[in-house]
Chains A and B, each alone.
Chain A
């Protein structure tokens, strides 16, 4: 290899690392400036840099697999609506269209063209989850998307540096939290600006007039690396299905996973039809969580970009719950979408049995509450809060599952002290739930038990969107199922896992988040592990089921 081309290779690798650092900084800016607690406390956001063709070159590693390639797709939509030659320095574009963005109206997506010496050199895009956008609220009860809140088509948020005050006024007027919602829009704008500043600095330093060569290098080497990993797996078609609760009846998620010389494709033919209610999944979100599940097993060390994502293709029949077209209600699409890595794992287990965990709680148990406050007339008298909460993950082939841990989502839980500072609710309990992990040689992660009450003399509403209440996380290789989730009042009444329900003042709401499935035969569990669980009060029985 000649000296010059060796230098080029090293330069390319250095610049690639720099791009990843740039998008991490973009994401940090978003977290530090966000208003929405689910963004600032939990990390429900995404940030990335794209070339002029709309190819994603780097994405910040944040807590949101659902944004993985949905954000990548959305930049193509932006470019289609606003051709590059019409973009000016200082422009910012915005949408929350579920089918152009990341699958529900709560996610605002902003795209900012980045200019250097008057030339458009790249695009920065970012997404954050706003707590409230009006409508019926952040729950699954809507029967079409327009009930679910303000719908912003592809629009200019800023024109040559001037913010679109009309649009901001519309946003403020269509949410229960006008100040926070507008603040989050500003936060998104700031994060793209910071990304662009850093990219221009990098191009100055490396005397780069265009990202084309670097983009080709990143995409080609990433794709090659993923293809090399896929080549280690035997070609074939592998099938799996999983039944979950659904809104108004059980749903079957059915997958055929094909490994061949072109990559991996997943086809969800046979999956249940879409629902009347807001648990439907737009196809970009289906693709995102499917690709994430594949990435965890096949190519966990390869960064996300257009190249590394390209070997994975996903299809679902239109009109199925995994490809719901406009105007379907989609607000709680995460409840179904987050199940897809488990579905994919059931296929991959047949070719990579030592890499695939048992099923887990999988969907976030987001406690979304809404009601009136007892504050004075100066402020909004309505509150809305989403407390991120989790069950247990599936046991791994050589380790217990993780207790009270998000997977596949990677967002953080909301601190109790923060929840109580933004909403008039009291959490009386938030602890591990003993025995909730599926037994096995390695047990599933434990779920949690929570008790929540209104802090004032007013009722509040719970916008429930939970699963794994009727259909538990299944164990693998002889491991037992995880314990089911549950929602009820301490006074005894059972509540539904989905839909808006009222909790009277003085009543305590009790939540059991589900446990993960176990892995391997419980009789072979290491007695030392089991004794530790018993000593710590996490298991009340010995491994073989005796007291």
Chain B
């Protein structure tokens, strides 16, 4: 293999319905879409792989790397199809998983149901032991009591064990000893420790995360093992890496131990695609806007990197209502996911206000216009009624739409009750969903201490390019990028993800008592742990290290992220850290607190392979656009009348061409809608770049 033609790589994304396979041959991408096979997911994967290899005549032995992401872990939790899991916890604390936050996620609804814990009370066992907040044993581990649990574990049909003791983040000894005792008696049992899965303070989050890891671990470990065996049988010789929720790649063995780190790997792939697009377009601040059939995902990208977080909520009982799900403390790409996709249903609330979702008509029955039994108006129906979607070429012409159904359901559910014409009602629906997404983006940006208006948008997923222009209006954003291959964005994103591993250690330290040698030794330890994973996955790659401290004023409960220099720390760095903390705090909250002391709660380190910086595309000489392929009648809400606008087909457009909004650019998987305030150029690499016209610049 020469330097100019690197080995082909395969990316595989298993979703709830489809498994996407993308083969990167260097000069082109080959794709396959096959049905997911939930009972034995490796079968669908192998069928997809087989298809792309056959189509391109590629030899499995020539493949240099397989990259895999999956929602299987998430679905196991959503459908409650995980392992029979037993929790072993501190005596007196049997109900931590179920007591939860003791609060209600909807203040006014007296009928709410709380999230059901993954481990029912009958399978929550306790042992006398107790650490204090400093990690000192107040009560030694009762080893006989541990051994005495073995028959109970068997009687309960236990397939997986979670061990979670109070303050185990401060001292893991009791958890480790318990594991050893149980493993000695039941060597085949899968055991997850809270001090390994989630070594952080706050017992509910730590134990829930550990229980979730234990719950998905046997099936994920089994599946990943089977997949590796099948690849070997098919003469693959390359490593297999797994996409994590945090946007990095990890080894198959690490994924088998901590499968909970895979839950959001699909959307993470989308965010990685947006990073790539941002770099190619030379944009430093980007909002990744991924709108599919069910949800919209919004994520901030700065300097071509996504924002990271350490908490995520899965299985929200009241869908998308904050606080109604199970909290997971894992490294994730920080994003908001809201119930706003093409299939989201529009209706009126008690105040006769238009509301959207969070429920979706999904693919089956789908929007009313699919004419497959869907009887409720959706976002897609509104887009059709407004003239933004060409009903003759939806999904590359594979799906014939019935626009009359859109009209009828919107008239019945929204237009008539509000005394609006159907097009005006459809406009109201799109305005509300665009506003909902804009609010989510705005609040999300601010939570990160950023201002949405300073960003550009990268839009992908079936519905995003239709709504990006109006979203940009609402966020005072002037630039939108619509990449090529947006329809399989997540799998394409996998191909550009770095091999990365994130480690954190909770070790409280006041800056007044800053101990550089202790911090240096913590960092060395974390470096060794991360290196072990990264080196196994990418033995020869050049790596990049990022060190951070989670800091706050002593007495606060939430930390802000402060970057650390990549060198051994000295006494003088107490001042460096104080200054950097002040700078970050003031940017977020306007004023620092003069009398309060600052502390570090947690130290973090991320080691990743240095991703080759994508080449920014250059200027293309201007060329004339071809005549429109067709014209569409579009409802112009401001003028309250229909106007005629041009429709272009994306394959007809070449670099350097400019088209003027209002217009529609149609392709097989999606359409881009330019409102009258935008024009668009085709970049050298085929990306569609929308610019706000000068005279209306915000």
Please say whether chains A and B are actual partners in one complex.
Answer: yes
Q: What is A's interface to B at a CB cutoff of 8 Å?
A: 1-4, 6-7, 9-10, 13-14, 16-18, 21, 24-25, 28-29, 31-35, 37, 40-43, 61, 63, 65, 172, 177-180, 182-183, 186, 189-190, 193-194, 198, 201, 205, 221-222, 225, 229, 295-297, 299-302, 355, 357, 388-390, 396, 398-399, 402-407, 410-413, 415-418, 420-421, 426-432, 448, 451, 455, 535-538
List residues of chain A with CB within 8 A of the CB of B637: 3, 7
Knowing A25-B443, A193-B590, A416-B93, the reply to whether A406 touches B349 (Cβ < 8 A) is: no
Knowing A6-B420, A420-B133, A536-B121, the reply to whether A31 touches B589 (Cβ < 8 A) is: no
Task: Give, as a whole number of angstroms, the nearest-CB distance from B680 to chain A.
Answer: 23
List residues of chain B with CB within 8 A of the CB of A399: 111, 113
B328-359 at interface with A (beta carbon < 8 Å): 349-354
Bound together, the chains give a CA A448 to CA B102 distance in angstroms of 11
Most chain A beta-carbon contacts within 10 A, residue among B108, B133, B167, B431:
B108
Residue pair A426, B138 in contact (C-beta under 8 Å): yes
CB pairs A–B below 8 angstroms (20 shown): A3-B640, A17-B432, A21-B443, A28-B447, A33-B558, A34-B556, A40-B557, A61-B107, A179-B555, A183-B555, A194-B446, A225-B351, A388-B102, A399-B113, A402-B112, A406-B102, A420-B132, A429-B91, A430-B95, A451-B92
Residue pair A40, B102 in contact (C-beta under 8 Å): no
Q: State which of B173-181, B200-208, B214-222 sits at the interface with chain A.
A: B200-208
Does B313 make an interface contact (CB < 8 A)? no
| Chain B interface size range | 35 or more
Contact of B201 among A182, A194, A225, A421 (CB under 8 A): A421
Residue pair B428, A10 in contact (C-beta under 8 Å): yes
Residue pair B439, A7 in contact (C-beta under 8 Å): no
Does B597 make an interface contact (CB < 8 A)? yes
Bound together, the chains give a CA A463 to CA B109 distance in angstroms of 32
Knowing A190-B591, A413-B103, A451-B92, the reply to whether A13 touches B354 (Cβ < 8 A) is: yes
Bound together, the chains give a CA A420 to CA B418 distance in angstroms of 56
Bound together, the chains give a CA A178 to CA B594 distance in angstroms of 12
Task: Give, as a whole number of angstroms, the nearest-CB distance from A344 to chain B.
Answer: 12
Task: Give, as a whole number of angstroms, the nearest-CB distance from A231 to chain B.
Answer: 13
Task: Give, as a whole number of angstroms, the nearest-CB distance from B530 to chain A.
Answer: 26
Residue pair A417, B589 in contact (C-beta under 8 Å): no
Q: For residue A408, which residue of chain B has the nearest CB?
A: B107
0/1 string, B65-103, CB within 8 A of A gives 1: 000000000000000000000000001111110110111
Task: Give, as a whole number of angstroms, the nearest-CB distance from B692 to chain A.
Answer: 14
Residue pair A295, B108 in contact (C-beta under 8 Å): yes
Contact of B558 among A10, A31, A61, A194 (CB under 8 A): A31
Residue pair A410, B103 in contact (C-beta under 8 Å): yes
Q: For residue B597, which residue of chain A has the nearest CB?
A: A179
B632-676 at interface with A (beta carbon < 8 Å): 637-640
Bound together, the chains give a CA A10 to CA B433 distance in angstroms of 12
List residues of chain A with CB within 8 A of the CB of B108: 295-296, 300-301
Contact of B442 among A21, A63, A448 (CB under 8 A): A21
Residue pair B114, A405 in contact (C-beta under 8 Å): yes
Residue pair B555, A417 in contact (C-beta under 8 Å): no
Does B572 make an interface contact (CB < 8 A)? no
List residues of chain B with CB within 8 A of the CB of A193: 589-590
Residue pair A40, B558 in contact (C-beta under 8 Å): yes
Does B606 make an interface contact (CB < 8 A)? no
List residues of chain A with CB within 8 A of the CB of B203: 415-417
Most chain B beta-carbon contacts within 10 A, residue among A178, A222, A417, A451:
A417
Knowing A190-B589, A448-B99, the reply to whether A37 touches B557 (Cβ < 8 A) is: yes
Does B233 make an interface contact (CB < 8 A)? no
Bound together, the chains give a CA A37 to CA B557 distance in angstroms of 7
Bound together, the chains give a CA A322 to CA B657 distance in angstroms of 73
0/1 string, B129-171, CB within 8 A of A gives 1: 0101100001000000000000000000000000000110000
List residues of chain B with CB within 8 A of the CB of A41: 557
List residues of chain B with CB within 8 A of the CB of A296: 108-110
List residues of chain A with CB within 8 A of the CB of B95: 404, 430-432, 448
Task: Give, as a whole number of angstroms, the nearest-CB distance from A277 to chain B.
Answer: 27
Number of A-B residue pairs, CB cutoff 8 Å, is 217
Residue pair A421, B351 in contact (C-beta under 8 Å): no
Does B476 make an interface contact (CB < 8 A)? yes
List residues of chain B with CB within 8 A of the CB of A430: 92-93, 95-96, 99
Task: Give, as a whole number of angstroms, the nearest-CB distance from B307 to chain A.
Answer: 15
Does B626 make an interface contact (CB < 8 A)? no
Residue pair A421, B133 in contact (C-beta under 8 Å): yes
List residues of chain B with CB within 8 A of the CB of A407: 104, 110
List residues of chain B with CB within 8 A of the CB of A183: 553, 555-556, 593, 596
Task: Give, as a whole number of angstroms, the nearest-CB distance from B95 to chain A.
Answer: 5
Bound together, the chains give a CA A398 to CA B201 distance in angstroms of 37
Task: Give, as a whole number of angstroms, the nearest-CB distance from B350 to chain A.
Answer: 4
Does B436 make an interface contact (CB < 8 A)? yes
Task: Give, as a whole number of angstroms, the nearest-CB distance from B300 to chain A.
Answer: 15
0/1 string, B283-320, CB within 8 A of A gives 1: 00000000000000000000000000000000000000
Given contact pairs A398-B111, A404-B99, A417-B133, enumerate 19 new A-B contacts (beta carbons under 8 Å): A1-B420, A3-B639, A4-B640, A10-B432, A65-B107, A179-B554, A180-B555, A182-B595, A205-B476, A295-B108, A301-B108, A402-B114, A405-B114, A406-B104, A410-B104, A410-B107, A412-B101, A417-B166, A418-B202
Contact of A428 among B92, B419, B435, B554 (CB under 8 A): B92
Task: Give, as a whole number of angstroms, the nearest-CB distance from A235 to chain B.
Answer: 21
Bound together, the chains give a CA A31 to CA B442 distance in angstroms of 18
Bound together, the chains give a CA A23 to CA B430 distance in angstroms of 24
List residues of chain A with CB within 8 A of the CB of B453: 201
Most chain A beta-carbon contacts within 10 A, residue among B91, B99, B427, B554:
B99
Bound together, the chains give a CA A21 to CA B439 distance in angstroms of 7
Knowing A172-B595, A406-B103, A455-B132, the reply to whether A3 touches B443 (Cβ < 8 A) is: no
Does B393 make an interface contact (CB < 8 A)? no
List residues of chain B with CB within 8 A of the CB of A182: 593, 595-596
Residue pair A43, B419 in contact (C-beta under 8 Å): no
Does B122 make an interface contact (CB < 8 A)? yes
Does B534 make an interface contact (CB < 8 A)? no
Residue pair B446, A25 in contact (C-beta under 8 Å): yes
Task: Give, as a whole number of angstroms, the nearest-CB distance from B396 to chain A.
Answer: 33
Bound together, the chains give a CA A18 to CA B435 distance in angstroms of 8
Bound together, the chains give a CA A432 to CA B204 distance in angstroms of 15
Residue pair B424, A198 in contact (C-beta under 8 Å): no
List residues of chain A with CB within 8 A of the CB of B112: 402
Does B474 make an interface contact (CB < 8 A)? yes
Contact of A415 among B204, B418, B424, B589 (CB under 8 A): B204
Does B120 make an interface contact (CB < 8 A)? yes
Q: For residue A16, which residue of chain B has the nearest CB?
A: B353
Task: Give, as a whole number of angstroms, the nearest-CB distance from A512 to chain B.
Answer: 14
Residue pair B104, A402 in contact (C-beta under 8 Å): yes
Contact of B553 among A6, A35, A403 (CB under 8 A): A35
Residue pair A301, B350 in contact (C-beta under 8 Å): yes
Contact of A536 among B120, B138, B420, B596 (CB under 8 A): B120
Residue pair B104, A405 in contact (C-beta under 8 Å): yes
Contact of B109 among A10, A17, A24, A300 (CB under 8 A): A300
Residue pair A10, B439 in contact (C-beta under 8 Å): no
List residues of chain B with CB within 8 A of the CB of A537: 121-122
Bound together, the chains give a CA A449 to CA B92 distance in angstroms of 9
Residue pair B424, A3 in contact (C-beta under 8 Å): yes
Task: Give, as a whole number of angstroms, the nearest-CB distance from A49 to chain B.
Answer: 15
List residues of chain B with CB within 8 A of the CB of A431: 92-95
Most chain A beta-carbon contacts within 10 A, residue among B91, B202, B639:
B202
Bound together, the chains give a CA A141 to CA B317 distance in angstroms of 42
The 5 closest A-B pairs by CB, nearest first: A3-B640, A413-B102, A40-B557, A429-B92, A536-B121
Q: For residue B434, which residue of chain A has the nearest CB?
A: A14
Task: Give, as a whole number of angstroms, the nearest-CB distance from A437 to chain B.
Answer: 14
List residues of chain A with CB within 8 A of the CB of B439: 17-18, 21
Residue pair A13, B350 in contact (C-beta under 8 Å): no
Residue pair A33, B476 in contact (C-beta under 8 Å): no
B394-435 at interface with A (beta carbon < 8 Å): 418-420, 424, 427-428, 431-432, 435
